[in-house]
Amino acid sequence: MDRWAEYRRKLGRRGEELAAAYLEHAGIRVVARNWRAPGGAGEIDIVGRDGPFLVVAEVKTRGSLRYGHPVEAINAGKRRRLRQLGRSWARLHGCPPWPLRVDGVCLLVTDGRVFVSHERGMA
């Protein structure tokens, strides 16, 4: 693996750790991480419970804003796929899929500092 790919992998893993801690601190109970749907249909970064809501969270981590804010990477197609994956997760785990909420947890990690943006209920 080249150095750039290794850097991105480590940054992404660190971002997911920080995002899970952030969500727990915000009162969202993390119940699953990096869940892969059967048949390769996709992956959910974090599944959580926020009161009655099943929360499906996509985590995006960047080291700079060179390619835009991380939230820009969670487009309408990605949100639609996350809703489908959330319903699949609920069905396979025997829990109601509604109400379902798609959140984005976006992290900018730069100069030893971390900036977090939590976008709740991305339409």
Beta-ladder partners of 101? 55
pLDDT in 10s for each residue of the chain, 123 residues: 699 899 889 999 999 999 999 999 999 999 999 999 999 899 999 999 999 999 999 999 999 999 899 999 999 999 999 999 999 999 999 999 899 999 999 999 998 899 999 999 986
Number of domains in the chain: 1
Q: Is-cis flag, bond preceding 52, omega within 30?
A: no
Q: If residue 58 lies in a helix (H) or strand (E), which one and from where to where?
A: strand 53-62
Joined tokens for residue 75: 């487009």
Helix (H, G, I), strand (E, B) or coil at 17: helix
Q: Is the dihedral of CA 50, 118, 58, 99 positive or negative?
A: positive
Asked if 105 contacts 22 with a C-beta cutoff of 8 angstroms, the reply is yes
Domain that residue 86 falls in: 3-119
Q: Which CATH number fits the domain that encloses residue 104?
A: 3.40.1350.10
Asked if 69 contacts 106 with a C-beta cutoff of 8 angstroms, the reply is yes
Of 90, 3, 109, residue with least CA distance to 47: 90
Helix (H, G, I), strand (E, B) or coil at 52: coil
